[in-house]
Structure 1
């Protein structure tokens, strides 16, 4: 489903002219008005696309689905398309996860590089099962967020630092560390046609220190490609995304997995874009599809100017909880 929730200045002509989208329909809702007016013309603002898919263990079928969404995003004028965590595949067990993995410059990333080049679009590949240089020693992989430019070149990689080892009643256990190694560092924000992007992945959203560090390093857009489950999704997904946007005063873009991947795993969906005021400006529902949003950096700067929380921070205190003030 192609969905929009927009502020008036972001309203896309697509809603008025109609869309010729096979297998996709349009969902329009009443806008939730932000608290601040913006002077930018919507036609001057970069357009981003957020792709929602249901990955399976079939890598080529997954690529075909993702490629169709990316091609549609490019046709609609997006400069950057975001794909979710595990866009390449979601396996049935850790053994299959390892068997299907590839090195960063293997055949699958080669296909995505060609896709980006042919479509002339940047791609945020939100969680690639990467066989790193230590594969022979560890026999484990990395959950790697790859950013490709419109020439198909890798301009940034971020390896997930917080691994999801949790046991949620009703959702089933998750032991990411059974097959995955944690990354050892954060990636500096990367300049793109939509703004400076700070990279992260799924479970990282629960650690606000990461988003604050990325914002302090210059990020204007935070991205959380994810595969939230059916229990944590309804309870925490939108709340966490809006909280990260508000506290960091950044746009938050979250491409998500949706639906049933195989017999033992399903994801919540509801991919969305949140603006720096905490308003959901675009979202998908449960099924595969995409949503579109315009990124207004003037609006972001206005919020940061009117509510200068980063100037008011007290890092001299935060590491000394319980110590008396000097």
Structure 2
């Protein structure tokens, strides 16, 4: 059994304030003997276009990432930073970084699908592509928890990605997010359960919540969904932590008794196109 801690946040534009909030929660989780901690999308910075450009760092460089690595070492946890702005040769990506308890980067993932939509809320028009460049990699990483498939927020609406993650061996799907209050209420839990059922994977989904200084309102409701599609633990809309234990081995019996990946008529095509990106 693995003991996980999901840190639901209401992040703002102050990197130092967000880091302090994360550290307070990590300290509490360490007392509860949690060995894995997860933060939402925009955990380090939830601001406006210029804020991301000013604070972006090259991968594995800069004081923000140094601080995050130090936190992983201090609290001896596997630590997923849901997203922060990373400066690349072709622009800025919204990227997850996974640190091990030694503070080493084990994996990073750049958000593939950018949120360019119109929503019936006070913000109305979202154009993530005005700030970020889309990623081009499907990322699965082998860890003591299991094979982790990485994704971020709007990715959740694209089952093709999660099929690719399953084909590459994923057992646990990570979904750090900042779903809007409107879309979250309508679709968040449904989509998470669908991705779990389709892939027969555990889903760990940790979100931003509440009203943010930049004017956004997010849904929260962080949760863990079993590979059978059951919500085994969840939060409401207040910032805080969710501690839950999961047994990744449960996947084995579900996949054995209902071998959907063997039954799919598209199996060979998926293998041939294992990583089309």
**What TM bracket, shorter-length normalisation?**
over 0.9
TM-score normalised by structure 2 residue count: 0.93
In structure 2, the residue matched to 1:214 is 165
> Could you tell me whether the CA contact under 8 Å between 1:82 and 1:123 is conserved in 2?
yes
Of Structure 1 and Structure 2, which has the larger fraction of its residues in strand? 2
In structure 2, the residue matched to 1:185 is 137
User: Structure 1's 235 and 318: CA in aligned 2 closer, same or farther, altered over 3 A?
Assistant: farther
> Could you tell me whether the CA contact under 8 Å between 1:80 and 1:121 is conserved in 2?
yes
Q: Distance in 2 between matches of 1:88 and 1:220?
A: 27
**1:258 and 2:213 aligned:** no
Q: How many residues align?
A: 268
Q: Distance in 1 between matches of 2:74 and 2:155?
A: 32
Runs of 4+ in 1 over 6 A off after TM superposition: 316-319
Within a 5 Å distance, the mapping from 1:96-245 to structure 2 comes to 96-104=51-59, 105-132=61-88, 134=89, 138=90, 140-170=91-121, 172-187=124-139, 189-245=140-196
Measured after TM superposition, the shift of residue 159 of structure 1 is 0.5
In our comparison, the structure showing a higher alpha carbon Rg is 1
In structure 2, the residue matched to 1:47 is 3
User: Structure 1's 100 and 206: CA in aligned 2 closer, same or farther, altered over 3 A?
Assistant: same
> Could you tell me whether the CA contact under 8 Å between 1:47 and 1:194 is conserved in 2?
no
Q: Distance in 2 between matches of 1:317 and 1:68?
A: 48
Q: Distance in 1 between matches of 2:92 and 2:115?
A: 14
Measured after TM superposition, the shift of residue 52 of structure 1 is 0.3
Matched residue of 1:184: which SS?
Answer: coil
Q: Distance in 2 between matches of 1:315 and 1:298?
A: 26
What is the aligned-residue RMSD (CA, Å)?
Answer: 1.5
Q: Distance in 2 between matches of 1:263 and 1:72?
A: 28
> Could you tell me whether the CA contact under 8 Å between 1:194 and 1:295 is conserved in 2?
no
> Could you tell me whether the CA contact under 8 Å between 1:86 and 1:126 is conserved in 2?
yes
- Deviation string, structure 1 residues 42-74 (Cα, Å, up to 9, x no partner): xxx111111101110011000000111122222
Q: Distance in 2 between matches of 1:51 and 1:79?
A: 13
